[in-house]
Amino acid sequence: MIVKSMEDSSSPSTSSRSSLVRRSAKFIAGSSSEVTINHSAVGKLAHLLADRYNKHDMSPECWKNHELHPKTADASAVDWIFVIDSVNFSFWSEVEDPEAPDRFMLEYKNKLWTGYWSCCAAVNRALDEGIPLLNADYLVQIDDEHVRYIFRTTKGVMPMLAERTRNLREVGRILKEKYEGSFTNCVTKSQNSSQTLIQSILTDFPCFRDEGIYKNERVAFYKRAQILVADIWACFEGKGLGTFHDIDQLTIFADYRIPQVLNYFGLTTYSQDLQRKLNENCMFKYGSDDEIQIRGCAIHACELLVQELNRLLENQTIPSHVNAIMLDFYLWDYVQLHEEDIRKTPYHKVRCIYY
């Protein structure tokens, strides 16, 4: 099989990595047989989101309002974000019911945390205990036993601990070799360009290279690389180390929750066969056609949504503007706030290190 390569993620290029994600998504959506984007629903949701934006529910500041996120924008916060996003994948439980005994949960400061928040809680707990988890010298020698301890749970077990160990060791080694032990040096070298930073991440840190093959074309998603940059931007509120003149180039971050909420709102419709697989709780393979179509169509649907939302906001008395990051953060938070209702909409389940 001959694979047409849009570009090689590990090689320097003048092309925007986020543009490659955008082109990949448009290509996937244009040839998808299992997922359909409902254009009429785009306008309906855009009006709803415009109202939420005007009520200040959609802004970069929302990131810092989360209890477990860093409150001080400094070099330590950058390294915290980098460690978190190095292991920011596969937090879904086999059992969704929070009362189920097998759903993994982690206790921190007298609260139980699940999903992504369990990762944040585990890292914060480790730092409270004096474990130097932001230190590259520690990361490069971390082993499975230490990772099991750091991510220990009150009930259930966090999945893919061995893969989290490998990622932490990999990023620790590369930080020592290329960035004097701190990801802040990588950020500084990007010269305020989100795309230069994403390229550096993809070139130097293999565990962030989120790509696949679809219809003989190499397609890109780069979920963790893009959200790493977005988290830094949000933490610093677009200032200091979080200043990126091209931040609006980023797309949404295609995980399993964003496609779920888009399907919940009716922006996407699945074929009868794909819906059956979702209803039957089937496991999907990373890089399979079904999985690629779900993620690619989610990105393209959100591109259309951002365009329509900005059209509405720019025609207001006081013109406003949103980017894909703000949309993604809002939709992801919406899932957390309406979990019981949205749980009725099944999501695609994949075990991989990319999301």
Rounded mean pLDDT, 186-212: 99
Look at 57 and 212; give whichever has higher pLDDT.
Answer: 212
H, E, C per residue of 127-186: HHCCCCCCCHHHHCCCCHHHHHHHCCCCECCCCCHHHHHHHHHHHHHHHHHHCCCCHHHH
Q: Contact 225/183 with Cβ under 8 angstroms?
A: no
Distance CA 289, CA 182 (A): 37
Q: What residues act catalytically?
A: 255
Q: Which tokens go with 252?
A: 């949404």
Q: Identify which of 138, 120, 20, 10 has the alpha carbon closest to the alpha carbon of residue 71.
A: 120
For the whole model, what pTM was predicted? 0.94
Q: How far apart are CA 28 and CA 314, in angstroms?
A: 29
What are the domain boundaries of the chain? 17-342
d(CA 108, CA 125): 7
pLDDT digits (tens, 9 = 90+) for 200-229: 999 999 999 999 999 999 999 999 999 999
Q: Is the pLDDT of residue 257 over 70?
A: yes
Token output for 117: 């928040």
Mean pLDDT of all residues in 260-272: 99
- 201 within 8 A of 208, measured Cβ to Cβ: yes
- The angle, 0 to 180 degrees and rounded to 10, between the axes of the packed helices 17-31 and 223-235 is 130
**Residue 167, both tokens:** 């990622």
Q: Of 62-66, 101-105, 292-296, 345-349, give the lowest mean pLDDT range.
A: 101-105
